[in-house]
Structure 1
Amino acid sequence: MKHEPSRDSLANLLLPLALILGLVLLLSLNTGQAGGVSETASPLEAWLKIIVGYLAAGAEIAAAVVIGGAIVRGSISYVRQLFLRKQPLDATEVIRLQLGRVLALGLEFTVASDILRTAVAPTRQDILNLGAIVLLRTLLNYFLEREIQQGEQRHSPEQPVMRER
Structure 2
Amino acid sequence: MKQERSRDSLITILLPISLIFGLVLLLSLNTGESSIPEESSPLESGLKVIVDYLAVGAEIAAALVIGSAVVRAIATYLRQLFSRSRQHQDATESIRLKLGRLLTLGLEFTVASDILRTAVAPTRQDILNLGAIVLLRTLLNYFLEQEIRQGEESHPSEQERN
Band of TM-score, shorter chain: over 0.9
Question: How many Å apart are 1:8 and its aligned residue?
Answer: 1.3
- 2-11 or 64-73: which moved more? 2-11
TM-score by length of 1: 0.92
Unpaired segments of 5 or more residues in structure 2?
Answer: none
1:46 corresponds to 2:14: no
Q: Structure 2: which amino acid aligns with 1:80?
A: R
- In the aligned structure 2, how far is the partner of 1:7 from the partner of 1:38? 48
Root-mean-square deviation over aligned CA pairs:
1.4
Identical aligned residues as a percent: 73
Question: How many Å apart are 1:6 and its aligned residue?
Answer: 1.3
Question: How many Å apart are 1:33 and its aligned residue?
Answer: 1.1
Q: Structure 1: which amino acid aligns with 2:91?
A: A
Q: Which residue of 1 aligns with 2:11?
A: 11
How many residues are paired up?
158
Q: Which residue of 1 aligns with 2:108?
A: 108
- In the aligned structure 1, how far is the partner of 2:60 from the partner of 2:23? 26
Deviation readout 1:122-143 (Å, 9 max, x if unpaired): 0000000000000000010001
Q: Structure 1: which amino acid aligns with 2:24?
A: V
1:88 corresponds to 2:88: yes
Q: Which residue of 2 aligns with 1:162?
A: none
Unpaired segments of 5 or more residues in structure 1?
Answer: 159-165
User: Segments of 4+ in structure 1 off by > 6 A?
Assistant: none
Q: Which residue of 2 aligns with 1:22?
A: 22
Deviation readout 1:82-123 (Å, 9 max, x if unpaired): 111233222111001000000000000000000000000000
- 3-12 or 91-100: which moved more? 3-12
- In the aligned structure 1, how far is the partner of 2:151 from the partner of 2:53? 37
